[in-house]
Structure 1
Amino acid sequence: MAKVLVYQGTDARQGSLVDVFRQVTNGHYDVQTIALDSLSAAPWEASTCMIVLGPTGASDALWQPTGAGSSALAKVQTWVEQGGTVAALGDAASRLSSVIATGGVTSPDADMVVPKGEGRILLFRAANPRPEDLVPRLQSVKIHGSALDAPARRLSPLYATSLTAPLLDAWLQRFMAPCSCTDAPPVWVKEAPTPFAVWYHIPAASVLDTWNTTEALALVAVRPPEWADVARRTPHFRMDAYYDALGAGRARSSAFPWPSPQSFHVSVGNLLIYGDIVSSTQTLLESDRHLLRTCPPGTTIVATHQVRGRGRAHNAWLSPLGCLPFSTTAHLPLHIGNKAVFLQYLAALAIVYGLESAFPAIQGRVRIKWPNDIYAQVPAAQPGSVRLAEGGESRHFVKIGGILVTAVCDGDTFYAIVGCGINCLNDEPTTSIQQLAREAGSTGVSLEACAGAIHAALESLLRVWADHAYSFAPFVPAYRRAWLHSDQVVTLVDAPGAPRRIVGITSEHGLLRTVPVNASVRAADTHAWLAPTIPGAVDVQPDGNSFDLLAGCVRPKN
């Protein structure tokens, strides 16, 4: 997801300014503070849609003619000219106007938008503008802004359902085993950091509307015959439509470009827990050992909004309306826990090929950025997009999704939690699956259709992975077609020297394989992916590293 980065020097009020921009952008962007050194040297350009410069005063290092401030402003100016947006508030507006040519504006006497190259500079007289003053200016430069429609922060009830009633009942029996059942619902499950109040049948709407979620999370069991009864309470996600899509995805699974599974011990999505507003689908599973232990492999939590979603490192995981955030459990034998690195690659394949199977019109436009991001090809450059040369032509890509895998070891079981977020219906802040399909003249995209298709593909992948002793080898051709990096020339920040060329991912340990630029081995060579070693190769771990497409380098994540 695109970021909004707020610079305000050492001003103690910068926290409140971050809060204001989080409010007016309504969860569409990851709003973070940024220090001067990072503004000057970090590779923020590709992931950022707007820089906010708050009031700092003339003595702030940003406005000094030499040092980090000078290089930061030069970097910002170049980024704006290439399509970025800067918002300057209070004294920062006049100082920025003096440093960067803004169409003759040197001391703005009104809020205004000034073109600069391909980008825009927003100038605000006030040091802390009111949301109602910010919103129209943001909207005028295609930054999502709304002071009125922020989703409620109160956590909603969770609805647990399954493909069959016996499966749901079996899970409820395990989940509620520590409890002493009472005649009057709900039944309290107090094994978790946050207790659950469980209704074995759907209660009256008034009961849940007044439930105090700070006391316990409300969890309601919904059996297949009751799907229609709960539809009015879950307007953004229909359970019957999801299971229809899951069945359709499984029916298409024989066409996936990897071997058909030989064993069927893993199912994904048969047990589903849905919440309209949750804290984080990932944290809900990761922090609750009792819930994690009792859920069968492939249990999936889906949400419409997350109020504390998580990404890699310190990134937030955003979920505006139309995004599909979900987390799925995978149980691995403890002795192959080091293979968990492949789960992020399998999840990426599930998103690409699952969505292509459901919506053939988007084929080839949803791609994988190593190690854990999903990008989409767009018709033209836009803020935050990257340009890559493919097949002799220049193409533009934007981020539409991400993957986070976390793990919990408990006894002899390695519990992996695969978290994903994908823009399905929300065209902002970048683009969506619905928009890609619309551009190709296709319709029918829904959250349920996307979820069912992705989960069916992930199920197939996990089965084949286990069949082949948790090797990545069966998926190499599919991954090579879907990723963005074959024979891409990059610089390894932690291994200074001549640029190197990317030729694959090692099938046993999941490392990014690079070779000298003039090496004969190419990404199309099978041994680039399957050989244990290659002369001159440097293999890079995915954990702790990120791929800066704009700068063409692999660098430590921090």
Structure 2
Amino acid sequence: MVHVAETGSTNQLALAAAASGEERPTWFLADVQTAGRGRRGKVWSTEPGNLSATLMLRDPAPATKIAELCFVSALAIDDAILTLAPDLESRLRLKWPNDGLIDGAKMIGILVEATTRGSLTHAVLGIGVNVRHHPGNAPYRTTSLNDEGFPVTRDQLFAALTASMMRALSVWNCGEGFAAIRAGWLARAAGLGQPIVVTHDKTRYEGIFAGLDPEGRLILDTPDGRQFLGVGEVSLMSQPMVH
């Protein structure tokens, strides 16, 4: 494990280690992250007391399976949190493809990236959790474990995560067990069976969140038919849609 006081991004640390030829699975943990990245270039900064960690894996699966690690990571951090705060089970939900929410407020962000050199692929699994603090200037609701009344520490959560990640990766089994990961993720999915909006670039889809296909794509039942979406930003809707 590599622990630093401050870094721009734990994912960047992991990618640099991969480029240098590191072969061992390695965790990177930072007390402060100043230039963390979310999906589509969004910024994810980490204040002291929050969790910013990245796991680097060497050749974890065929390249076509790497995206599944986002769901593996989501289940791992969800399990880690519930180990320490089991009363959150009915309130903690996973939002496709890479967020974790408490009562609809964002608390978890995940970014999975990969780099390939020749036939060798390294995957980096970045996980950020608002443990002690949460941003007050985000364009959406946010929260933290401590603000929700759970006095968990960053170090406690990281220890639980390292154990739960090993279990989740074992279930995933280099992609052979994705069906079980998919089922576990769907059991905790925010908005399943409900109306949602998915936006990507300038395209907007509205429909009922019907599930995930075997590749992890979001299945959306729209008035124009069933859509299978591999990318996009999900917004949950509080009011039913009329078909």
CA displacement, residues 212-252 of structure 1 (integer Å, 9 cap, x when unaligned): xxxxxxxxxxxxxxxxxxxxxxxxxxxxxxxxxxxxxxxxx
Conserved 8 A contact 1:489-1:502: yes
Conserved 8 A contact 2:23-2:58: no
- Amino acid corresponding to residue 424 of structure 1 in structure 2: V
**Partner residue in 2 for 1:280:** 9
Say yes or no: does 1:343 pair with 2:69: yes
Q: Residue 310 of structure 1: which of 37, 41, 66 is its match?
A: 37
What is the distance in 1 between the residues matched to 2:204 and 2:8?
A: 44
Give the TM-score taking structure 1 as reference length: 0.39
Aligned ranges 1:62-211 → 2 under 5 Å: none
**Which structure is higher in strand share?**
2
Q: Residue 453 of structure 1: which of 160, 170, 175 is its match?
A: 160
Q: Residue 483 of structure 1: which of 168, 189, 193 is its match?
A: 189
DSSP 3-state at the match of 2:148 = helix
What is the distance in 2 between the residues matched to 1:321 and 1:482?
A: 29
**Partner residue in 1 for 2:139:** none
Gap change, CA 1:427 and 1:279, over 3 Å in 2: closer
**Which structure is higher in helix share?**
1
CA displacement, residues 136-173 of structure 1 (integer Å, 9 cap, x when unaligned): xxxxxxxxxxxxxxxxxxxxxxxxxxxxxxxxxxxxxx
Say yes or no: does 1:431 pair with 2:120: no
Which consecutive residues of structure 1, in runs of 5 or more, have no partner in the other structure? 1-271, 378-396, 519-535, 553-558
Q: Residue 51 of structure 2: which of 324, 342, 353 is its match?
A: 324
Q: Residue 538 of structure 1: which of 215, 227, 236 is its match?
A: 227
CA displacement, residues 429-456 of structure 1 (integer Å, 9 cap, x when unaligned): 3321123344xxxx4x111110111221
**Partner residue in 2 for 1:360:** 86
Identity of aligned residues (%): 24
DSSP 3-state at the match of 1:304 = strand
Aligned ranges 1:493-532 → 2 under 5 Å: 499-507=206-214, 509-516=215-222
Report 1 or 2 for greater relative contact order, CA contacts < 8 Å, sequence distance ≥ 6.
2
What is the distance in 2 between the residues matched to 1:497 and 1:282?
A: 30
**Partner residue in 1 for 2:24:** 296
Gap change, CA 1:452 and 1:285, over 3 Å in 2: same
- Amino acid corresponding to residue 133 of structure 2 in structure 1: N
TM-aligned CA deviation for residue 425 of structure 1: 1.7
Gap change, CA 1:466 and 1:431, over 3 Å in 2: same
CA displacement, residues 306-327 of structure 1 (integer Å, 9 cap, x when unaligned): 1222222231111112211011
Say yes or no: does 1:374 pair with 2:100: yes
Conserved 8 A contact 1:333-1:412: no
CA displacement, residues 26-45 of structure 1 (integer Å, 9 cap, x when unaligned): xxxxxxxxxxxxxxxxxxxx
Conserved 8 A contact 1:333-1:413: no
CA displacement, residues 52-102 of structure 1 (integer Å, 9 cap, x when unaligned): xxxxxxxxxxxxxxxxxxxxxxxxxxxxxxxxxxxxxxxxxxxxxxxxxxx
Aligned ranges 1:389-468 → 2 under 5 Å: 397-426=104-133, 428-429=135-136, 430-438=142-150, 443=151, 445-466=152-173
Give the TM-score taking structure 2 as reference length: 0.84
Query: How many residues are paired up?
Result: 233
TM-aligned CA deviation for residue 359 of structure 1: 2.0
RMSD: 2.7
DSSP 3-state at the match of 1:339 = helix
What is the distance in 2 between the residues matched to 1:287 and 1:359?
A: 34
